[in-house]
Structure 1
Amino acid sequence: MGQLSRPIPLLLLFGVLVLAGCGALGPGFFADRSPRERVLLLDTPFYAQEDYQCGPAALAMLLAWNDEALSLPALSDQVYSPSLEGSLQPAMVAAARRHGYLVYPLDQPAALFAELAAGHPVLVLQNLGFSRLPRWHYAVVIGHDLARNRIFLHSGRQQAMEISARLFERTWARGGHWGVVVLPPDRLPATAGETPFLAAAAGLEQAGQWSAALLAYQAALERWPGSFGARVGLGNARYALADYELAQRAFRQALLLQPANGAVLNNLALALAAAGQRQEALVVIRQALELDGIWRQELLRTRQKIIADQP
């Protein structure tokens, strides 16, 4: 028997969580953020950009840092828009996810410093022009020097370029303080919070990278053992990988935390039906219809699919 349907995705349970985006200056850029005195991640690979190709080049650096074998022309085809003469952030994020990597957002200097201290280079969006005449540019931050008030970037055709913290903050702020780290799915960012990490893991679901999503949800449960969302995501990933027994286990564990959650009951019923336990699946659907009206239409569709799939 083939799969009846896809489970209700995690993002719908929490609302749509998306990566955002596209102060003190000078010495104050470092103030009260407790960065290490100096960080310089010289092991970050460097790709010189061609005209308007800063997006593909910057993303390629982070993928290569992850030991990903890649073709820069192929990556450029995925993220670069000739009509825009540039790359949009959603395309950059989607491309990294298609390679099976977790993309985690950050938008504060303190988070940037924490990720650098953990050894994670950071892809940032800068506006090198003005608010009314923007000149968008992607670069990879690889370090800082507190004493000299400097930021180090792989940028354009320059490797480990030094600029003042004041200039970096101005250009990064004009870019909406948009930044991300790109990591293996089983590695938590230094600044990981439960909800944004689960949103990043759910992005792997959307990309169809179920094995990577599974690793991310397992990592989440190690950090946050009581996470409802991580259990739901784990169940969805197990289901997509046709491991229906472990999918059921994950959904039942999530139901211990939220017994009346119709979406999770729906997904449990799908896992039961996929494993050939159709009558038990229909019992679960009936229970869900009695408990939760929010997901009623989805539950009714699932019930019809289970009935129609019976021999």
Structure 2
Amino acid sequence: MPMDVSPSCRAAGPPLAPPGAIRLLFRHLRARALPGLLLLCAALACAGCVRGPGSLAPDPTRPAAERIIHDVPFFAQEQYQCGPASLAGVLRHLGLTGAQATPDGIAEAIFRPGMHGTLSLDLALYPRTLGLSSRWYDGSVADLMAAVDSGQPRIVMVDHGYGLVSTYHFMVVVGYAPDAVIVNSDRTPLQRLPWASFLRTWDRTDRWTLEVRRQEPAPAPAP
């Protein structure tokens, strides 16, 4: 299936993740066509402190079987709302109800009209306003497989852009197979994306991954 992102859904701006954020911000600035001299200066300044493409740790294995989390609700991603739609599916999977766990309710809180999208930082922090735990990090195939095995969907950001232009997109990983990662994305649930194609676009965001969980109960005080 085609891997280019639907024009009706995009993530706004570079992913604000701990490692690799500077390189992604620079790529985002290039996509906005800043003057060439400024870009050259920024590139020289950052050359010694960012990772180049392909420098992420390799994934030594691929799954030998297929696993799917079948009870993750799916919301078709409307115009510019891939982030809220992805997060809504995960929140519903965790048992949240009401408008705060719908694409429209989430978008009302974090969608940025001027950017025609949702910032990854806003998406990552929103669950905390609902009393949930969230963390974003550089993921791996092994991590995605472990999450699926434990029944925990993960939100990932990929970059479907080309060359100097980035087009960020959120999707929910709900399964895996020997030949594909299985995601809820755009307007189709349980899409199968070949590993090579998926990893190529995921690598462009330093494999940005979002985990959302319920808060662990506080330990009981010692008697």
1:158 matched to 2:188? The reply is: yes
- Aligned-partner SS, 1:134: coil
1:78 matched to 2:109? The reply is: yes
- Aligned-partner SS, 2:114: coil
CA gap of 1:97–1:36, structure 2 versus 1, over 3 A, is farther
What letter corresponds to residue 173 of structure 2 in structure 1? V
Q: How far apart in 2 are the matches of 1:154 and 1:131?
A: 26
Structure 1 position 30, deviation (Å):
5.9
Bigger proportion of residues as strand: 2
What letter corresponds to residue 138 of structure 1 in structure 2? F
**Residue 143 of structure 1: which of 154, 172, 175 is its match?**
175
Q: How far apart in 2 are the matches of 1:84 and 1:38?
A: 38
TM-score by length of 1: 0.50
**Residue 31 of structure 1: which of 52, 60, 64 is its match?**
60
Report percent identity of matched pairs: 26
Bigger proportion of residues as helix: 1
**Contact 2:80 2:116 (C-alpha < 8 Å) held by counterparts:** yes
Q: Deviations over 1:261-294 (max 9, x none)?
A: xxxxxxxxxxxxxxxxxxxxxxxxxxxxxxxxxx
**Contact 2:159 2:167 (C-alpha < 8 Å) held by counterparts:** yes
CA gap of 1:131–1:60, structure 2 versus 1, over 3 A, is farther
What letter corresponds to residue 151 of structure 1 in structure 2? V
Q: Trace 1:25-64 onto structure 2 (pairs within 5 A).
A: 31-32=60-61, 35=63, 37-64=65-92
1:180 matched to 2:203? The reply is: no
Question: Any unmatched runs of 5+ in structure 1?
Answer: 1-17, 187-214, 222-245, 250-311
**Residue 104 of structure 1: which of 129, 135, 139 is its match?**
135
By relative contact order (CA 8 Å, sep 6+), the higher-ranking structure is 2
**Contact 2:160 2:166 (C-alpha < 8 Å) held by counterparts:** yes
What letter corresponds to residue 78 of structure 1 in structure 2? A
Residue in 2 aligned with 1:201?
none
Q: Trace 1:162-241 onto structure 2 (pairs within 5 A).
A: 162-186=192-216, 215=217, 218=219
Q: How far apart in 2 are the matches of 1:150 and 1:32?
A: 13
**Contact 2:156 2:210 (C-alpha < 8 Å) held by counterparts:** yes
Structure 1 position 105, deviation (Å):
2.9
CA gap of 1:101–1:131, structure 2 versus 1, over 3 A, is farther
- Aligned-partner SS, 2:182: strand
**Residue 91 of structure 1: which of 122, 139, 161 is its match?**
122
Q: Deviations over 1:121-172 (max 9, x none)?
A: 01000111125111110000001111xx111100010111111011110111
Residue in 2 aligned with 1:115?
147
Structure 1 or 2, whichever has the larger Rg, is: 1
Q: How far apart in 2 are the matches of 1:67 and 1:123?
A: 17
RMSD: 2.4
TM-score by length of 2: 0.68
Q: Trace 1:2-17 onto structure 2 (pairs within 5 A).
A: none
- Aligned-partner SS, 1:83: helix
**Contact 1:41 1:121 (C-alpha < 8 Å) held by counterparts:** yes
Q: How far apart in 2 are the matches of 1:179 and 1:155?
A: 15
Q: How far apart in 2 are the matches of 1:36 and 1:86?
A: 37
Q: Trace 1:224-263 onto structure 2 (pairs within 5 A).
A: none
**Contact 1:60 1:70 (C-alpha < 8 Å) held by counterparts:** no
Question: Any unmatched runs of 5+ in structure 2?
Answer: 1-15, 25-53
- Aligned-partner SS, 1:151: strand
What letter corresponds to residue 120 of structure 2 in structure 1? Q
Residue in 2 aligned with 1:124?
156
Q: How far apart in 2 are the matches of 1:68 and 1:19?
A: 26
